[in-house]
């Protein structure tokens, strides 16, 4: 077999593998099992199961409204604090559940909870400064919070891992 034929076969196999990865990626929202889509709803530990539609919507909205500064779960303005579970749970108040993340998106505070940062961080409270926040509904905020909370289950240590991974 000539080198050209071998090269064409290798390119064909590579193309097929890329197509499978692109179109049959196992991390599509519809294919996530209930365990992966189960997130903590409130501080008491009560959980909720996100629907596949909420997962898709949360990803789209996060990418549109949040990923500019939080791509991959990092925080570009403070790389020491990301959106991984450890950082979220150590914030004051803890931001490791849907309701507390929604509260943060509506009215963000410093990591210690002492100071409002609404003029610096996009939020519903500062929608006049941050236009992407203007039309977000409570359902949108729920989906975004859900996206943040399921990413560690999907991306593992990559979510919030910073420069090591992104």
Domains assigned to the chain: 30-158 (1.10.760.10)
**Beta-carbon contacts of residue 166 (< 8 Å; ≥ 6 apart):** 71, 72, 74, 158
Say how far apart CA 148 and CA 84 lie, in whole Å: 8
pLDDT at 1 over 80: no
The span from the CA of 131 to the CA of 151, in Å, is: 25
Dist. CA 143–CA 48, nearest whole Å: 12
Q: Which residues are annotated as a binding site for heme c?
A: 66, 69-70, 121
In sequence order, which residues have a C-beta less than 8 Å from that of residue 139 and are 6 or more positions away?
A: none
Q: Does pTM top 0.95 for this prediction?
A: no
pLDDT in tens, 119-147: 999 999 999 999 999 999 999 999 999 99
Q: Which residues are annotated as a binding site?
A: 66, 69-70, 121
Rounded distance between C-alpha atoms, residue 142 and residue 12, angstroms? 43
Q: Average model confidence (pLDDT) for the chain? A: 87
């Amino acid at each position: 077999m000539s080198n050209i034929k071998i090269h064409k076969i290798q390119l064909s196999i590579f193309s097929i593998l890329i197509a499978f990865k692109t179109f049959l990626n196992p991390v599509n929202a519809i294919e996530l099992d209930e365990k992966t889509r189960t997130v903590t709803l409130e501080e008491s530990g009560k959980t909720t199961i996100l629907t596949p539609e909420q997962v898709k919507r949360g990803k789209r909205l996060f990418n549109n409204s949040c990923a500019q500064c939080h791509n991959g779960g990092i925080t570009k303005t403070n790389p020491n604090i990301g959106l991984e579970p450890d950082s979220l749970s150590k914030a004051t108040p803890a931001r490791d559940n849907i309701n507390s993340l929604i509260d943060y998106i509506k009215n963000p505070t410093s990591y210690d909870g002492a100071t409002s940062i609404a003029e610096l961080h996009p939020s519903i409270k500062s929608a006049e400064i941050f236009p992407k926040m203007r039309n977000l509904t409570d359902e949108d905020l729920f989906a975004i919070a859900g996206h943040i909370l399921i990413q560690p289950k999907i991306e593992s240590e990559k979510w919030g891992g910073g420069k090591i991974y992104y």
